[in-house]
Amino acid sequence: MDTPLFYQLPIPLLFVGTIVASLAAIEGGRRLGLRLNRQDSESSGSIGSAVGATLGLLAFILAFTLSLASSRYDARKQLVIDGANAIGTAYLRTDFLPKDQREEAQRLLREWVGLRVAPDSFGADKVQGTLDRAKEIQSEVWALVVVASKARPSPMTALFAESCNEVFDIHEERVTKGLVTRIPIALWLILYLVSMTAMVAVGYQLGAEHSRRWFGTAFLALAFATVLVTIADLDDGSRGVLRISQQPMEQLYESLL
């Protein structure tokens, strides 16, 4: 699975890089303001209006992107619960299968849950292997469903087949929402472009007013960097601190052992 470089950057590195880029943009804007306004050719009021409009646009885009990332985070968290419930139901319904098929199905479902709770099983270097093994387990479980349905067709085996379908569907939804449908790179580019433009505008205003205000500019850069990496962390919980708890899966795994 090919992953864009942006999604491979560690959150701490992204945080520091955003702060450095913001401070550099502010300093660049300040020097530009000093050079172009040596004789106060531009009023501070007109500059302040432009800076305020730019910051307002940035705040709107940040709020929109944060809402998008937050909703996806909540959806992924709910899928963990739904997935654990579906697997638990499928495991219980293996009792409807003949003994040999029942034991094999239970073993495969335990391994399926084990893939979910294993540390770093969805890390950048292991994710493809985890997904490949999940597909193999899915095929093996479904083969058991087919054999059981042909050997002893009954409403009970149909219930097990229905549970397996639900497990597979939730798995695909988790993969899609967790690894595929992230915030588009184009939106990240726009977000960073507007952010750096706003930082340059702030610096330009400082230069036009012949002011430095290091504390204020550093605080502004820190605040925007914090919001940006929070969005990135919500969008991809596998590389930051806002990771989705796998407790429902862990509790299920312990109950299956």
User: For the chain, how many structural domains are there in total?
Assistant: 1
Q: Considering the domain boundaries, does residue 62 fall inside one? A: no
DSSP string, 200-237: HHHHHHHHHTT---HHHHHHHHHHHHHHHHHHHHHH-T
- Name which of 214, 190, 199 is nearest 24 in CA terms: 199
Q: 47 near 30, Cβ under 8 Å?
A: no
The 10s digit of each residue's pLDDT in 161-218 is 899 999 999 988 888 887 778 888 888 898 999 999 988 888 888 887 777 677 778 8
The 10s digit of each residue's pLDDT in 113-154 is 888 887 666 666 677 788 888 899 999 998 988 888 887 777
Domain containing 246 equals 9-41+80-256
DSSP structure class, residue 211: -
- Name which of 21, 81, 32 is nearest 248 in CA terms: 81
Average pLDDT over residues 24-30: 89
Q: Considering the domain boundaries, does residue 96 fall inside one? A: yes
Q: Considering the domain boundaries, does residue 220 fall inside one? A: yes
